[in-house]
Structure 1
Amino acid sequence: MAPVVLNVYDLTTQMNSWTYWCGVGVFHAGVEIYGIEYAYGGHDYDVSGIFATRPREAPGAAFRESIHMGETDMTAAQVQHLVQQMGHHYKGNKYHLLQLNCNHFASDMCLQLTGKPAPPWVNRLAGLAVMLHCFLPGSWVPPLQTPSAMPEVQSSVPVARGKRRAITRDASRQKLLDSPLSDEPLPIDMSSSRV
């Protein structure tokens, strides 16, 4: 069993020192496992935006805290495979400040490794901004993507008694896969993605 740690960083230290106590802030997050921290960022290319750094040393951010998320029975090789599969969805040119950011990735990776997503406060500000998007100046945030334009993400996490649950961002498509657990990780099904 390997520990899974969510490392949270301040992107605006001064503002976060006030807003953190209200349960919001501008944060960056990465997932630490096997001595490597994985995070997601945007770029102009249609390839993975996932990158690896030394734990608690994210570029351009001030380390705030580490949160122990649990443990995984995946090997280092299986984690690498998972990261590669997640890269099909978390492409650099698909990064969106509010709808597909580093915190979405970190929460998704924690969910796949431990069965638990990141604490809600890590990405709460983005969720609030989506709800209040029509009130924000267009120069502050990019246009929102409609649910039909958002790529569907489907991943698997262990559930009780040797089954894996397929989780999609579209709750109406959620289903249970009856595949036995094994040493091999189940691939993320990207066949129905609209990327």
Structure 2
Amino acid sequence: MSASFPVKLHVYDLSRGLARQLSEPLLGKRLDGVWHTGVLVFGKEYFFGSLGIEWCPPGGTILGTPDQVIDMGNSHVPEEIFNEYLISLKDDFSPSSYHLLEHNCNNFSAEIVQFLTGNPIPQHITNLPQEVMSTPFGAMLKPILDSMSMRSASPASSSQLQGRVQPSSTRRLDASSSPSPSSTKTNKKMFYWPLNQALKKCEALLEDSWVASSEYAAADEARQTISQLLSHLKTESTPFPTSVLSLIGNLLSYKSEEKKKEPLLNGLELLSLVVLSEKGRSHYVQKSDHLIFRLLRSYAKRGDQDIDLALIHLLCNLCSRDDGAYLADSSRWKIASSKSTNNVDEAVSFVVERLTSKESATCWPDAARLFHNLALVKMSYDNELAIASASLECIKHQVPTDVARWLFPGLLAVAQRNAQACELAVMLYDRSETYSQESFWEERNDYLTYLEFERIIKT
């Protein structure tokens, strides 16, 4: 009896979960994923892409661990016969024959699984292109996807057409695989509220009727503390008032049936001013309790736009001293006995929800600034796709200049280093005559950034 070899189908969701979130509003039907497949047999994972037939160690592509592993049965085909069969397919699955919709990795997987086991791969994988193209939006996308397939096809190297299928090259996102950056000068500095605006906020807090009211037992001390903070922000050689830390704690924990929100807002705005100071910021950043992000988790759930704006100001001002390093910290910390999170995941989740909700439209100018900061920091592939998708969703609403001038530079920065984000922009960006008019932009450099974004997604 001949030996048998297990055959597995590795299934990856190229959208990293975005298909489940965006397919229904865009296509009118729910898709659980955008599927890429590879076939695992003889200890190697075989797949087809724009470089032709390739193989790599199991789970060795840039996609990492497969989302699903499907047992396709056993094969009695010897490895030598299988390799000869792959060579016979080199013309049918050449780099120039690759088409994102009509002749892709899933067609290849179906072909070789059928050869090895006689079994078909799941229909929901092979039928995905027809499902998408059967919708009005899918039909509109087809010319774009066709052009992407034409661009992705490249001549095969001679080593790929010899007597055996060559190992897959490492498809990491580096300078060679990312779109080349332009010499266009884009706004790549972290945004935080300028000191003159911070000082005005501080002065406004001094005049706040609530701070001066008799409801707060230490109103005089509060005004004195805020005055000292005002002096410190003007000149950091002036001592930092440590009493402001207690004041913030009191404001955030203050209970009042009549004025539930006002103390909380004052506490958050005061905190956003304190983190502009190195001494004040270090008190919150150097501690391991992650208080700021615990506040974010707690208060963001309220869905109150005034509170959301105060939280956005706080997160942007956190970037004033370290170019967003604390915002982008991916170190895990516990939120429950068996759950954990990190700073960047919380910030990304917060800004994605604000940019994708029309109910949060009044927050968009400030949320766009926070998005811009996040787009400039190093984060996971999944998070980059999430913020790129959110910004594209926001952009399609014909946002005003003060929103667009932050979204496009951030989206450009992500697309330049993340090939999938760039392809997502190609598919989802609906070119608008509004943005293409130079008169829409208040500054020429913003207009040039927009043009650079358009150039990137066209090439």
Determine if the TM-score, normalized by the shorter chain, exceeds 0.5. yes
Any residues of structure 2 matched to 1:35-184 within 5 Å, and which?
A: 35-43=43-51, 49-60=52-63, 63-132=66-135, 134-136=139-141, 138-142=143-147
Do the aligned residues in 2 keep the contact of 1:31 with 1:39 (CA within 8 Å)? Answer: yes
- What is the deviation of 1:72? 1.0
- What is the deviation of 1:19? 8.0
With the length of structure 2 as denominator, give the TM-score of the two structures. Answer: 0.28
Greater radius of gyration (CA): 2
Return closer, same or farther for 1:24/1:107 CA change in 2, 3 Å cut-off.
farther
The structure with the largest helix share of the pair is: 2
Which segment drifts farther, 49-58 or 61-70? 61-70
- The one of the two structures with greater contact order (alpha-carbon pairs below 8 A, sep at least 6) is 1
Which segment drifts farther, 134-143 or 106-115? 134-143
Do the aligned residues in 2 keep the contact of 1:2 with 1:33 (CA within 8 Å)? Answer: yes
- Structure 1: where are the runs of 5+ without partners? 44-48, 145-195
With the length of structure 1 as denominator, give the TM-score of the two structures. Answer: 0.62
- What is the deviation of 1:2? 0.6
Return closer, same or farther for 1:17/1:23 CA change in 2, 3 Å cut-off.
closer
The DSSP-based 3-state class of the residue aligned with 1:66 is: strand
Do the aligned residues in 1 keep the contact of 2:5 with 2:41 (CA within 8 Å)? Answer: yes
- Structure 2: where are the runs of 5+ without partners? 24-29, 150-459
Root-mean-square deviation (Å): 2.6
Could you list the per-position Cα deviations for residues 77-120 of structure 1 after superposition, in whole angstroms to 9, with x for gaps in the alignment? 11111111122200111100000000110111111111112101
Do the aligned residues in 1 keep the contact of 2:19 with 2:33 (CA within 8 Å)? Answer: yes
| Percentage identity across paired residues of the two chains | 27
Return closer, same or farther for 1:15/1:100 CA change in 2, 3 Å cut-off.
same
Do the aligned residues in 2 keep the contact of 1:28 with 1:102 (CA within 8 Å)? Answer: yes
The DSSP-based 3-state class of the residue aligned with 2:91 is: coil
Do the aligned residues in 2 keep the contact of 1:10 with 1:62 (CA within 8 Å)? Answer: no
Count of paired positions: 138
How many Å separate the matches in 2 of 1:140 and 1:110? 26
One-letter amino acid of the counterpart of residue 39, structure 1: F
The DSSP-based 3-state class of the residue aligned with 1:77 is: helix
Do the aligned residues in 2 keep the contact of 1:35 with 1:54 (CA within 8 Å)? Answer: yes
